[in-house]
Amino acid sequence: MELRLLQSFLVLSEELHFGRAAARLFIAQPPLTKQIHRLEKELGVQLFERHPRGARLTPAGEVLAEEARAIFAKVEEAEHNVRNADLSGVGHLVLGASGTTGAALLPGMLRDISAAAPGVDLGVRQFENSAQVAGAIIDGDLDAGLIQYPLEHAELSTRLVSTHHPVLLAPESHRLAEHDSVRVAELVDEDFIIPRRYSGSAQGKLIEEVCATADFSPRVVQEAADAYSVLVLVAGNQGVSISVSGVDAITQGVRAVPFADEGLPTLRLAIAWRKKNPSVLLQTAIDAVAADV
């Protein structure tokens, strides 16, 4: 029995509503339904009775809920004991991020952490959006990660790391590429490339908010699989996009042009970690990353 399935079951047993449980787990409702069906098939029993207003636990579900709470309490105790077995040791940390902005910030974060904790073993993972990063932290797959700020969750603590201002991303051959600055209203007739709408991308939200300041919606000609693909398509002269300064360095052929407009939305990033994570090494890393904020 996978702990991931058991956690999904436990959240649903608390919410007794598939929609609310899926929101807590940072997943869509259909994957949650599949997870519960898989668990029921594995155990050979029905765990929930479905009804129009939600769900209720069956007797078997009541027993599993009690056992699951005990299992996760034991897992948490084991994590605490292992992490505190030798706090003077070097240790290992896994960090996560999403999008091109997160990817651009990670190298500097790793350098800061290595300087504060020499010899620490660092790993990184890339995700599609902040919700997935937060979910991985809660699941214990990440020690910490960069998320869009604010993103509130009862199990997470956050500290602001950086604030980023929007820029136009244009091909080097574009008429606006050589300008010192542009106004949002100049983009009303441009073809836009955006991250796919259902990905929960912070960049997609930023594009819509920036265009709204000039009272227009972006004319979308293509939805890319992710933020990096947006850069590649812009470099290939397929359209323009909006992101934040610094990401243009990831791909050749893209120019980042600042906006002259005042009061535009910004993208703020924070480092997030589980509130119940007692690791001294992790707190050292967080202090190093957020030291200049």
- Shared domain check, 252 and 182: yes
Residue 230 is part of a domain; what is its CATH number?
A: 3.40.190.10
| Predicted local distance difference test score (pLDDT) of residue 3 | 86
- Shared domain check, 146 and 74: no
Binned at pLDDT 50, 70 and 90, residue 56 comes out as very high
- Shared domain check, 248 and 171: yes
Binned at pLDDT 50, 70 and 90, residue 83 comes out as low
- Shared domain check, 173 and 144: no
Binned at pLDDT 50, 70 and 90, residue 8 comes out as very high
Query: Mean pLDDT throughout 53-69?
Result: 92
- Shared domain check, 157 and 275: yes
| Predicted local distance difference test score (pLDDT) of residue 88 | 46
Q: Which of 83, 118, 148 is the last residue of a domain?
A: 83
- Shared domain check, 258 and 190: yes
- Shared domain check, 20 and 146: no
Q: Which of 23, 51, 83 is the last residue of a domain?
A: 83
Q: Which residues form the domain of 208?
A: 166-265
| Predicted local distance difference test score (pLDDT) of residue 227 | 81
- Shared domain check, 100 and 154: yes
Residue 16 is part of a domain; what is its CATH number?
A: 1.10.10.10
- Shared domain check, 189 and 176: yes
Reported as a single tens digit per residue, the pLDDT across 245-282 is 767 666 689 999 999 999 999 989 999 999 988 888 89
- Shared domain check, 66 and 114: no
Q: Which of 50, 83, 116 is the last residue of a domain?
A: 83
- Shared domain check, 177 and 33: no
Q: Quick one: residue 258, left, alpha or beta (phi over 0 = left, psi -120 to 50 = alpha)?
A: beta
- Shared domain check, 258 and 127: no
Q: Indicate the number of domains in the chain.
A: 3
